[in-house]
Each structure stands twice: as structure tokens, then as C-alpha cells.
Chain A
Amino acid sequence: MTWDVALILGIDGLANGAVYLLAGLGLVLIFSVTRVVFVPFGDIAAFAALTLAAFETGRVPPTIAMVGALAVVAVAVEVTSLSRRGEFARIPKAVLQWGALPAVPCLLAWLAARPGVPAAVQVAVSVLLVVPLAPLLARIVFQPIADASVLVLLIVSLALHFLLSGLGLLFFGPEGSRTQPLATGTLMLGEGFPVSGQIILMVASAIVLSGLFFLVFERTVVGKALRATAVNRVGARLVGIRPARTALLAYGCASLLAGLIGVLIAPVTTMYYDSGFIIGLKAFVAAIIGGLVSYPMTALGALAVGVVESFASFWSGALKDVIVFSLLIPVLMLRSFMSAHAEEDEEEVDQ
């Protein structure tokens, strides 16, 4: 290995790491607020990428049907639970919130699928269209079992992933797609090291978004409410924060992150209906390095995963993923030595 090869691999690794960083932030956000390891995160990213690909080939993205169907189910679930409790007055609001709100991006997407719509609009709409996915899934699947143990939540989330990737195959078909680069042009780093604009965009987005994350959590009421719920759900409720609402907010943010990841990586990798899983899995390794609570450690872990992956593919292409996932073993050992081990707390919190 020479220095220039190492540099190219390093840059490639940072670009991958930037994607894992965003995915890792989303995972940690959802886990800390709701105790759910949100496995379908990567699927949502893949759907965003495939939506954009559908726009580029002039098709109406099938994601619209997916979001629409989920919205109908969510309205049904909400109306049933409200009428069972006899709160009929709240039904119109629920229909508006669960039916009309997700319909907005669907309508936008339907309009954006016409020919002649600028690419930038299509990118934005692709991201917007997947934003309702995680909150809708959360309302349908996770809200009724919000108090179950972490293990139950994990298994449900895993089942949800299989359901989503099956739907992905149904809606998007088995073949992969690649989209037009968002940023063209290359930057010359010194002599003979071209760095493509897309990679710079990926790294820059990761930096900007994690900066935004920091600001939101430190400086806004909403961010503080999220943090409060993450720290202590009962305490948060006592001071007037509704866990169900903060959970939805967390899912919404994570869905937005997933959408951004999707459109960022679609031009550099071929996305299939099931490509999201492996992205989510590697982000999970990063999140584990951060102990599923620490954002800065997750960010570092994500970059480490990206770089290790890149160098591993050079040394042994066939064993690349083995090497990346083996990172988990020393990390877990180290963490279990270092942290004081607390039993999982069985809180009883409803709604």
C-alpha cells in the first residue's frame, strides 16, 4: 500500500462514514427516546433513493401508494382507539393529523412526477415523501406496545424490517437503480487526488446536520423535551412532556435523516429494495460504539466503521463485512468492563 492508495481509501471511508454517521444519529435518537432499535431505518433510506430514481425515469414513485396505504391504516387505528374510549370529539383532528398530513407529501410527489420538474425539487420531494413513513409505522406498530420490554420492541422492529423489504420488492421490483449525482465537478486535493463533489457533499451534509442536531438539543424547548424523555420518561411526564408526542417527533426526525441519506448515497451506490438493511446494520455498529446513547461517540464510531470498511475492502474484499462486524466484539467487551451494569428498568408508562 502506498500513501496515495491510503488517501483514496481514507476519503472513500470518510464518505461512507458520513452516511453511517447520519444513520447512527437517527438510530440513537429513536432508541434513547423510545427504547426501540429501529431496524427499518435503512429501508426508509432505500425507499427515498428508489423514489428519486423513479422520478428520474419519469415514473410516479410507488412510495405514494405505500405512504397512502399506511396513512389509511393509521387513521383506522386512531379512530378505533378514540371511539373505544368514547372521545368522539377528537376524531376529526385525528383524521386530519393521520390522514391529511401524510397526504400532503403524496400530493407534492404526484405533482413532481410530471415532466419538466427541476431535479432539485424532485430531490426535496423524495425526502419529504418518506418523512411520514416512520411516524406512521410507529403509530400503527409501536405506540400500542410502547411499554413492552426492549427485547420485544427489537423483535417487532426486526419483523417490521422484513415486512418493509417485502413491500419494497413488491413496489420497486428486484432491480437496482442509481441516480444522477447531486453535485458535479471534482476538487483536486494536492496533486492527482480528485475528490468528487458528491463525496464532499456527503461529508458536508453530515457535518452540518450533526451541528444542527447539537443546536436543536442544546438550545430549543423541543430538543430539551426529547432529551428529557430520553433521560427519564416518568420525570418527563411529570413536568408535562407527553412521551407519545416526543416519540413521534423522534421518528419524524429519524425519517427525515433516512430520507437525506437515501438521496445522498443513491448517486454513488446502486440501491436495491433491500440495500438499506446493511447500511442500518453498519450504523448500528456505530451506535453500539456510542452505547446507543452518546451522539459524539456514535459519530466517531461511524467514521471508524467507514474507514475500517474501506481499508478492509482493499485487503480482503470477500471478508470486508466480517471485519467490520468483528469490530463489535472488542467494543462490547470494553463497554461491559467500563460501564456499571444496571438492570433494565421496567417502567410503567402509558401514552
Chain B
Amino acid sequence: MKTLIRCAVAVAVSAVFVASTLAADLKVGLSVSLSGPNSSIGIPYSKGMQAALAYKGEVGGRKIQLIVLDDGSDPTAAGRNARKLVEEEKVDVLMGTSGAPSAVAIAQVGREAKTPMIGLTPLSFSAADNPWVVTVAQPTQLMVDAVIERMKRNGVKTVGYIGFSDVWGDLVYDAMMKAAPAAGIKVVSNERYARADASVTGQVLKIVALRPDAVMTGGAGTPGALPFLALAERGYKGGVYGQHGLINPDFVRVAGASAQGSLMPTGPVIVAEQLPADYPTKKIALDFRSAYQKVNNAPTSDAFSAYAFDGWLVFLDAAARALPKAEAGTPEFRVALRDAIFTSKDVVGTHGVYTFKPGNLYGVDERARVIVKLDNGQWKLAP
């Protein structure tokens, strides 16, 4: 009988203990595209997040629970996922996703439910209307500015532009038009092509005929390789510049030798090993590499998994400061967490050093970009 009572007490005590730890667990809700056309971006996000969980799975003595849902590359499903995460799981923070439309859907739910969201992709909506959202990605302008600076340093006076005939092509073009006049660079063409096009010979001929000192391309992924191939075929001798949409192993595979020597901006994590020892993000980037290797049994070479890792780091930092103010899982905690995110200062991530302020979605500065050169299929830091 005595043993029985002892057992019962032990069970009761442990139940209370388990219950109390469960109640205090922090919950992170991640909605990404694990299937569908955006899955080549969504899968690295999820793998990077798993690496981050293994890297540091607790904050202030509280365990963190990660809930991952697949949105199938569909903005409607992303919104539904966010609602499920907020209403059923009562998550403390939302994260996601590949593609701006899906990110908008999640942000809307976050705003209604007063749950902070850490975006992992560039967002293009008004910060004033979305006081619950930040993103760890670099703004396009920051990246394109770096390209224009490099062009100026290389003595480029005229530049031809060829990009996608969609939002991405417009974003890059607008960013370039903003930065180029100040650097004394003249943009001489604005050629466009569709992602599905088979050839850009016509557009490239037009650019080559204008004889610009350099060509800037506004494409992404494998379709972004077309201008490089066509320019090489026409024997164009000037420099060809890209932007961070092209930092992708499939682009390298398709462009092959034609993109040899081209310069483009990216987050420093891509070339972590080559960074100087005193670079602020070097150590954490290497830590990320080994955590990723340990969890996923494969090396990482993409930028996307690192964004997920950075999202996690921003969350850890903010949660550590918010925990003393309120109990996790409560609306008060979510408010405290948002306030903590917006007072983040110099949080070192793999892509950059994050300082978020109210009224700004982005939190990175010049340290979040480096120029890399494609050399025999490898990205080489080009300081």
C-alpha cells in the first residue's frame, strides 16, 4: 500500500511537472512550401529550421516546440495554415514562407490575431500597415546598390538591362534606376523576357548593338541563365552582373561556362569559409553549417536554409527579453515578443546583423551583403 501511494505521488508530481513544462513551452509555427513549384525554396527553409532547433532548442530554460505545416505553394493554404497555427496551436510566433503572396496571407492572419511574424523572404508591403511583421531577408535595393557600387569601382559608365517581364524584373530595374544616376552610370536599355522563353537572342542583339560597358540581369533561378548564355554566344566582352536571385546551384548548372566571372551580391553565408576572420557573421555562419550537416546529413550551399536559421536567432533573442515580462502562450507574451523583436539590436545572424525598428520591415545593413564571383562553378568572395 505504501509503495502504491509512493507511486501515485510520484506520478502526480511528475504529471504536474510535465504539465508545467508543457504550459511554459514556447511554440513556433512555420508554414512553408514543402510541395508544389516553390518547394525548391520551401524545403531548404524547413531543413534550416530543423538545424536551428537542434542548434538551440530552448531559451531562458524553456523548451521550444516547432510546428511545421506545408502550404503546397498556395497562398490560400498558407493563410489557412497560419490560422490553424494561431487558433489551434496558439503559437507565439509565425514564420514563413516562399513567395510574397503567401507571406502576405500569413502576415494578415498574424495582424488579426496579434501574433508576431518573422518573414523569411523579401516582403513588399507597407510596414505601417503591418506592425506585427519583420523579415530577415535583405531588401532588393540593398543588394542592387552593392552591384552599382561595384560597377562604379570597375569603371562602368553605361549598362544594359535585361530581366524578367514580371514583378522580379521590375523590382531589380527600379532599384537599379534609383541607384545608377548617383553613381554616374547610365542605363541604356530595358529589355524583358518571360520566364518560360526559349531564347533571348533578339533582346541580347539589341543590347550588344548599344555597346554598353556592362550588362545587368534581372532574372532568378534557371530561367535567369538565358541572358548569360545568349551574351556568351554573341561574344559579349563586357562584364555581366547579376543579383541574389541567381545564387542557386541550378543556375550554375544551366549557365555553365557562360557565367564564368560574373559578379553578383549575396548574403555572406554563401561564402562563409572565405570571409575574413573578423567578419561579424563568420562564426555563426560556420556554426550553422555544422548544425545543418549534423541534422540533415548533407552539406548546405543555399541561402534559404540560412534565412530560416536567422529567423530562429531573431526569435531566440527577442524571446529571451520577452519571457520575464509575461508567460509564454498568452496574448501578453505575444505583445511583449513583438516589442522585443522591434527593439532587437545587433543580433548576429548568418546573413547579417539585425537591428529592427518600428516602421521598417527590414533589419539588415551593409554587413548583410558581399559581392561574389562565379569561378569555375564555385562562388568566390570578391572583396
Q: Residue B141 at the A interface, CB < 8 A?
A: no
Q: From known contacts A175-B40, A178-B254, A270-B254, infer whether A9 and B222 are also in contact, taking CB-CB under 8 Å.
A: no
Which one, B37, B165, B256, contacts A317 given CB within 8 A? B165
Q: Residue B198 at the A interface, CB < 8 A?
A: yes
- Min CB gap B42→A, angstroms: 11
Let me know if A269 and B202 touch, CB within 8 A: no
Let me know if B192 and A269 touch, CB within 8 A: no
Instruction: Tell me which residues across on chain A come within 8 A of B9, comparing CB atoms.
Output: none
B203-211, B265-273, B365-373 - the one binding chain A: B203-211
Instruction: Tell me which residues across on chain A come within 8 A of B205, comparing CB atoms.
Output: 5, 8-9, 314
- In Å, the complex CA distance between A278 and B199 comes to 12
Which one, A176, A279, A315, A318, contacts B250 given CB within 8 A? A176
Give the number of chain A interface residues (Cβ < 8 Å).
33
Q: From known contacts A169-B37, A270-B222, infer whether A275 and B196 are also in contact, taking CB-CB under 8 Å.
A: yes
Considering only CB atoms, which chain A residue lies closest to B255 in the complex? A178
Let me know if A310 and B192 touch, CB within 8 A: no
Instruction: Tell me which residues across on chain A come within 8 A of B191, comparing CB atoms.
Output: 317
Instruction: Tell me which residues across on chain B come within 8 A of A274, comparing CB atoms.
Output: 196
Let me know if A16 and B199 touch, CB within 8 A: yes
Chain A proximity mask over B225-268: 1 for CB below 8 Å, otherwise 0: 11001000100000000000000001001101000000000000
Label chain A's interface by main secondary structure: helix
Q: Residue B197 at the A interface, CB < 8 A?
A: yes
- In Å, the complex CA distance between A317 and B189 comes to 12
Let me know if A318 and B192 touch, CB within 8 A: yes
Which one, B37, B192, B202, B229, contacts A312 given CB within 8 A? B202
Q: Which of A40-92 contact B (CB under 8 A)?
A: none
Which one, B39, B203, B209, B222, contacts A176 given CB within 8 A? B222
Label chain B's interface by main secondary structure: helix
Instruction: Tell me which residues across on chain B come within 8 A of A268, comparing CB atoms.
Output: 198-199
Instruction: Tell me which residues across on chain B come within 8 A of A270, comparing CB atoms.
Output: 198, 222-223, 225-226, 254
Q: Residue A311 at the B interface, CB < 8 A?
A: yes
Which one, B39, B202, B256, contacts A311 given CB within 8 A? B202
Q: Residue A265 at the B interface, CB < 8 A?
A: yes
Which one, A5, A174, A265, A314, contacts B198 given CB within 8 A? A265
Q: Residue B201 at the A interface, CB < 8 A?
A: yes
Q: Which of B175-224 contact A (CB under 8 A)?
A: 191-194, 196-203, 205-206, 209, 221-223
Instruction: Tell me which residues across on chain B come within 8 A of A317, comparing CB atoms.
Output: 165, 191-193, 200, 202-203
- In Å, the complex CA distance between A269 and B225 comes to 10
Instruction: Tell me which residues across on chain A come within 8 A of B165, comparing CB atoms.
Output: 317-318
Instruction: Tell me which residues across on chain B come within 8 A of A143, comparing CB atoms.
Output: none
Q: From known contacts A175-B40, A176-B223, infer whether A310 and B198 are also in contact, taking CB-CB under 8 Å.
A: no
Instruction: Tell me which residues across on chain B come within 8 A of A9, comparing CB atoms.
Output: 201-202, 205
Let me know if A314 and B254 touch, CB within 8 A: no
Instruction: Tell me which residues across on chain A come within 8 A of B223, comparing CB atoms.
Output: 176, 270
Chain B proximity mask over A158-195: 1 for CB below 8 Å, otherwise 0: 00000000000100011111100000000000000000
Q: Residue A272 at the B interface, CB < 8 A?
A: yes
- In Å, the complex CA distance between A175 and B205 comes to 27
- Min CB gap B251→A, angstroms: 9
Considering only CB atoms, which chain A residue lies closest to B73 in the complex? A174
Instruction: Tell me which residues across on chain B come within 8 A of A310, comparing CB atoms.
Output: 199, 201-202
Q: Residue A147 at the B interface, CB < 8 A?
A: no
Instruction: Tell me which residues across on chain B come within 8 A of A8, comparing CB atoms.
Output: 201, 205
Let me know if A269 and B199 touch, CB within 8 A: yes
Let me know if A177 and B254 touch, CB within 8 A: yes
Which one, B39, B192, B197, B199, contacts A174 given CB within 8 A? B39
Query: Which interface residue of A5, A272, A278, A318 has the most chain B CB atoms within 10 A?
Result: A318
Let me know if A16 and B196 touch, CB within 8 A: no
Q: From known contacts A174-B40, A175-B222, A270-B225, infer whether A12 and B201 are also in contact, taking CB-CB under 8 Å.
A: yes
Nearest first, the 3 closest Cβ-Cβ pairs linking A and B are A313-B202, A314-B202, A269-B198
Extra 17 A-B pairs, beta carbons < 8 Å, given A176-B250, A275-B198, A321-B194: A2-B209, A8-B205, A12-B202, A174-B39, A174-B40, A175-B40, A176-B254, A178-B225, A272-B222, A278-B196, A310-B201, A313-B193, A313-B200, A314-B203, A314-B206, A317-B202, A318-B192
Taking beta carbons and an 8 Å cutoff, which residues of A are in contact with B? Answer: 2, 5, 8-9, 12, 16, 169, 173-178, 196, 265, 268-270, 272, 274-275, 278-279, 310-315, 317-318, 320-321
